[in-house]
Amino acid sequence: TNDMLYTNLSSLSLQENEFVCPSTGKPCSCRSISESNSTCTSGQGMDSVEKVEPVSYSEIDGSTYTDKELIFPPELLLRKSNSLNLSGSGGLKWFRPLRLQHLLELKSKYPDAKLLVGNTEVGIEMRLKRRQYRVLISVTHVPELNVLHVKDEGIEIGAAVRLSDLMKVLLKVVTERDAHETSSCKAFIEQLKWFAGTQIKNVASIGGNICTASPISDLNPLWMAAGAKFRVIDCKGNIRTTAAEHFFHGYRKVDLARDEILHSVFLPWTRPFEFVKEFKQAHRREDDIAIVNAGMRVYLEEKGENWVVSDASIAYGGVAPLSLSAQATKEYLIGKSWTQELFQGA
C-alpha cells in the first residue's frame, strides 16, 4: 500500500528510517525499530536473538493497542455518489436516484416498485417469505427525503431519515427548547429506546416503518396521538397533507396511491398543559415486538377551580389489523374535569 494515499505528507518530508504509520497517519519510526530488532547484527549468531514465547489471546492486554486502530481511507470519504441502475437475475432492477425528480420519474414508470432505505422489511419478505419484487428503488441518497429541520412550529422529518438520526435530534431538542413544547419528543425518545437494536435503528427509516403499517408498530400509535401530519407527493410533484390518524386503512394498507410516496412527517410542538405519553408491553423489555402498545395525549385547560380536558387522543397497536384510534374514549374525555372518577369511567 502506498502510504501517501492516506496522508497529506510527501515522501520528501519524511526523515530517514521513517514511514507513515497506518494507525495514526503520521510519521513514525516503528517499522525501522521492528526491522532492526528482527535482524541479526554481523558476527552474531542466532543465539543472540531474544527468544519470544508464544502468547495466547487471553493473556494479551488489549488496552495497549487502543491507539493502533487503522484510519478510514480519506479518499473514500471524498468519493462522490452516483446514481445507479443495476440489473439482477430474473429481470430484477435496482435503482439509486440522487434527486427527488428522478425518483418520481422512476415511480411513474414502475408504480409497483418497492422503495428501500435500510431493507429491514423488504429484505425479510424477499428472503424468508419468498416475495418477488421486480423493481427496487433505494432512496437513501435523495436529499429531499433526508431533511431533518427544527422549525418554530415543530420538527420536519424526511421519510428516509434513519431512526438513530431522529433519536439524536430529539435528544438535542429536549435540552434546547421549553419543556412544555417537547412532551411528544420525550415520548418518542422513550419508545425508541426499546425499538429494535442499534444496528437496525442505524439503517431503518421513519418512512419505511410508517408505510409498512405493521399493526404492532411502536411508533405509529405515537404519530397518531401526537397529531403528526404526513406529507405525500405524487409523480407530478403535487403535495398533499394527511393526518397520521387517517393514514392507516387496514392491515399493511395506507393512504397512498400507486403514483404517490411519503415525502415527510411533521411533528408539532406540544402546548402548555398538553402531555403525550408512550406505552409498550412485550415479553421482554429490549429488542422485542410488542404485544400491545399505545400513544396517548391530553390537553388540559383551567376553568375556574377545575382542570378540564380540552382535547385528547389515544391510539393502540396490537389490538386490531391496524393501529387504531380509541374514538369513543376520546369523545368521552373531552369536556370533562380531570379527576380520578374520569379515569375510571374512561
Question: CATH no. for residue 131?
Answer: 3.30.43.10
Tell me what the pLDDT averaged over the chain comes to: 86
Residue 230 bridge partners (DSSP): 242, 265
Name the residue range of residue 241's domain.
146-345
Q: Are 231 and 132 in a shared domain?
A: no
Is the domain of 335 the same as that of 195? yes
Asked whether the predicted pLDDT for residue 196 surpasses 80, the reply is yes
Q: Region 213-224: what's the mean pLDDT? A: 96
Last residue of a domain, one of 138, 170, 203: 138
Alpha-carbon torsion angle 126, 233, 248, 174, nearest 10: 100
* Measured distance CA(316)–CA(329) in Å, rounded: 12
CB 117 within 8 A of CB 136: no
Read off the DSSP letter of residue 247.
T
Structure confidence at residue 34 as a pLDDT band (50, 70, 90):
very low
| Mean pLDDT, rounded, for 113-120 | 95
Query: Coil, helix or strand for 6?
Result: helix
The answer to whether residues 95 and 232 belong to one domain is no
Cell of 144: 429531499
Q: What's the structural domain count of the chain?
A: 2
Enter the pTM of the model.
0.77
List Cβ neighbours of 140 (8 Å cut-off, separation of 6 or more): 96, 116, 117, 146, 160
CATH number at residue 223: 3.30.465.10
Reported as type and span, the H/E element at residue 127 is helix 122-127
| β 114-116/93-96 pair status | unpaired
Angstrom CA distances, 148 to 17, 95, 192, 206, 324, stand at 50, 24, 17, 11, 27
> Does residue 85 surpass a pLDDT of 60?
yes
Maximum alpha-carbon separation in the chain: 103
The whole-number average pLDDT for the span 123-142 is 91
| Better-scored residue on pLDDT, 69 or 193 | 193
H-type alpha helices, 144-205: 163-176, 183-193, 198-203
Is the same domain home to 206 and 95? no
Task: Say yes or no to pLDDT of 59 above 70.
Answer: no
Backbone angles phi, psi at 183, to 5 degrees: -60, -40
219 and 237 within one domain: yes
What pLDDT band is residue 40 in, cutting at 50, 70 and 90? Answer: very low
- pLDDT-based confidence at residue 252 (cuts at 50, 70, 90): very high
Could you tell me if residue 93 is inside a domain?
yes
**162 and 121 share a domain?**
no
| pLDDT of 77 | 77
Domain presence at residue 21: no
In this structure, the answer to whether residues 276 and 337 fall within a common structural domain is yes
pLDDT in tens, 86-106: 998 888 999 999 999 999 999
pLDDT at 259: 95
Of the three residues 105, 121, 138, the one that is the final residue of a domain is: 138
pLDDT in tens, 286-304: 778 899 999 999 999 999 8
